[in-house]
Amino acid sequence: MTLPDKNAANSRRLNEILRSITRLRPLPTSTNRILRALDEPNTTAGFLADLIALDQALTAYTLRVANSAALGYAVSCASIKDAVMRLGFRQVRSLVISTVASGPLSSRLSGYRLGDKELWNHSVSVASAAHWLAGSIRYPDPEKAYVAGLLHDIGKLVLDQYVFADYNEMVNIMQTNQLTLWQVEQQLFGVDHAAVGGLITSHWQFPEELVDAIRYHHAPSLSQPYKRLAAIVNLANALLPAENSSSQNFALEGRIIHPDTLQILNIQEHLLESLQNRLIDAMFVYDARKPAA
Ligand SMILES: [Fe+2]
Ligand SMILES: [Fe+2]
């Protein structure tokens, strides 16, 4: 009897994972139209408002955020065009991506032992923390950090079924070799959820910087041109208060700051605790822009 070749089985599985990404449905046409319009230099707030008005959930969400007193907007705006002008194109982009991502990210991930909406809540928390951190270190586009944080673990949606099948082996390897979840994914599947997330967002033709930040959110120094965005997501993921993350869960990536993250972001280690305290204080403001799942 010939024993099954583990390497062959692993490479078959890797090919299967990669093929399943290319078969993923594209973003809805309406979402793509808005994202494309946001990239066009000549797009007006009125034109964007017309596109947004075609989507009921996005319209309601845009108006809610634009009228949120908690975000400092005292005078309410009634039209979508006013809301777009108040929020700015960058924040509108975050709202569009949040609306389209909320469905898939809210699903239960049995492999990762994540219940309904658990990944969604974690994603929104990391997005908010990344936005705040980006602002506090003067990263030029905090909204980009928000989107990177929101989508950072999206690769788990694809890997979940494989994690489900290999759960016991994964826990065993993690405990025996003191490895993190993503390191074990690499060992068993030849790819981790961060790399898969990079492939998914690249499949959706998201900007390279965003794709790269998602791909390297556990190893920001590997991102050649865009280390800062990847490092912001890495730090946001690690500094979140325990109640805002799936801390007791198998899926927890360990609140581990990558050894290069602080250097990339030019943050002194002794200031980390006060940074974390300020971040925790700031998080309540983000409840006002939390998308409905
Ligand atoms: Fe992750
Ligand atoms: Fe995460």
- Domain annotation for the chain: domains and CATH numbers: 103-289 (1.10.3210.10)
Helical segments of the chain, H only: 6-22, 29-39, 45-53, 56-66, 80-87, 89-105, 118-136, 142-151, 156-165, 167-177, 181-189, 193-203, 208-215, 227-239, 261-265, 272-286
**Residue 2 pLDDT exceeds 60:** no
Neighbours of ion ligand 2 (CB under 5 A): 153, 237
Q: What is the mean pLDDT of the chain?
A: 90
Which ligand is closest to the CA of 159, given by its number? 1
At residue 251, the pLDDT reads 58
Neighbours of 107 (CB within 10 A): 16
- CA of 254 relative to ligand 1 center, distance in Å: 9
User: By CB neighbour count within 10 A (0-12 exposed, 13-18 middle, 19+ buried), where does 21 fall?
Assistant: middle
Which ligand is closest to the CA of 121, given by its number? 2
For 235-275, the pLDDT digits (tens) are 999 998 765 444 445 555 657 899 999 999 999 999 999 99
At residue 245, the pLDDT reads 47
C-alpha 54/C-alpha 88 separation (Å) is 19
- CA of 55 relative to ligand 1 center, distance in Å: 30
Say if CB 281 and CB 66 are below 8 A apart. Answer: no
At residue 204, the pLDDT reads 92
For 140-154, the pLDDT digits (tens) are 999 999 999 999 999
User: By CB neighbour count within 10 A (0-12 exposed, 13-18 middle, 19+ buried), where does 215 fall?
Assistant: buried
Say if CB 21 and CB 200 are below 8 A apart. Answer: yes
**Residue 4 pLDDT exceeds 60:** no
Residue range 34-44: average pLDDT? 95
Q: Which of 8-12, 33-37, 78-82, 194-198 has the lowest mean pLDDT?
A: 8-12
- CA of 201 relative to ligand 2 center, distance in Å: 16
- CA of 42 relative to ligand 1 center, distance in Å: 36
Which ligand is closest to the CA of 219, given by its number? 1
Q: Which two tokens stand for residue 26?
A: 């594209």
- CA of 252 relative to ligand 2 center, distance in Å: 7
At residue 244, the pLDDT reads 47
Model pTM above 0.85: yes
Helical segments of 166-192, H only: 167-177, 181-189
Which ligand is closest to the CA of 119, given by its number? 2
Q: What is the biggest distance separating any 2 CA atoms in the chain, rounded to whole angstroms?
A: 77
Answer with the residue of higher pLDDT: 71 or 43.
43
- CA of 195 relative to ligand 2 center, distance in Å: 13
Question: In the chain, what percentage of residues exceed pLDDT 90?
Answer: 75
For 200-217, the pLDDT digits (tens) are 999 999 999 999 999 999
Say if CB 150 and CB 124 are below 8 A apart. Answer: yes
